Copies of this chain bind each other. A is one copy, B any other.
Amino acid sequence: MMNWLDSLRWDRDGLVPVIAQEQSSGDVLMFAWMNRDALTETARRGEAVYWSRSRQRLWHKGEESGHVQKVHEIRTDCDNDVVLLKVTQLGHKPGIACHTGRHSCFFQRHENGEWHSVEPVLKDPEAIYR
């Protein structure tokens, strides 16, 4: 039996892109990256653990903010090179996935050649990261 981690196609940096989707609403919350250790830890804990490319270390989502992602499903696509997590976003209601204090990181919408913020800030980031 091939290990489920071996059957993924890790990129030249040893990473796969990861989409986190809120299970209850279907909302796409965020996008991040995982290496093998991050995905192993995500499966073991049942909580999302990403690889932070900027900090070059494992990043247990919510470790500072408390906005942990409980993982219900781990999926991959037809090419085995992308991961989709179905999650519940914990720590605030409604869930806050974005470091800007918004529900989803995808809050900017293209309109006539400009990006417009179209989702409200649910909590001041200064109150999230004290």
With contact pairs A26-B26, A84-B106 given, residues A113 and B78 touching in the complex (Cβ less than 8 Å): no
What sequence of 0s and 1s flags, for each residue 74-106 of chain A, a beta carbon within 8 Å of any chain B beta carbon?
Answer: 111111101010000000000000111010011
A59 to chain B minimum Cβ distance, whole angstroms, is 14
**B76-A106 in contact (CB<8A):** yes
What residues on B are CB-neighbors of A76 within 8 Å? 106, 108, 110, 115
In the complex this chain forms, how many copies of it are found?
Answer: 2
Q: Does A122 contact B (CB under 8 A)?
A: no
A71 to chain B, nearest CB (A): 10
Mind listing 7 A-B residue pairs with CB under 8 Å? Answer: A3-B113, A17-B31, A21-B26, A73-B110, A75-B108, A77-B108, A78-B105
Which 7 pairs, one residue from A and one from B, show the smallest C-beta to C-beta distance? A26-B26, A77-B105, A74-B110, A31-B82, A75-B106, A84-B106, A78-B105
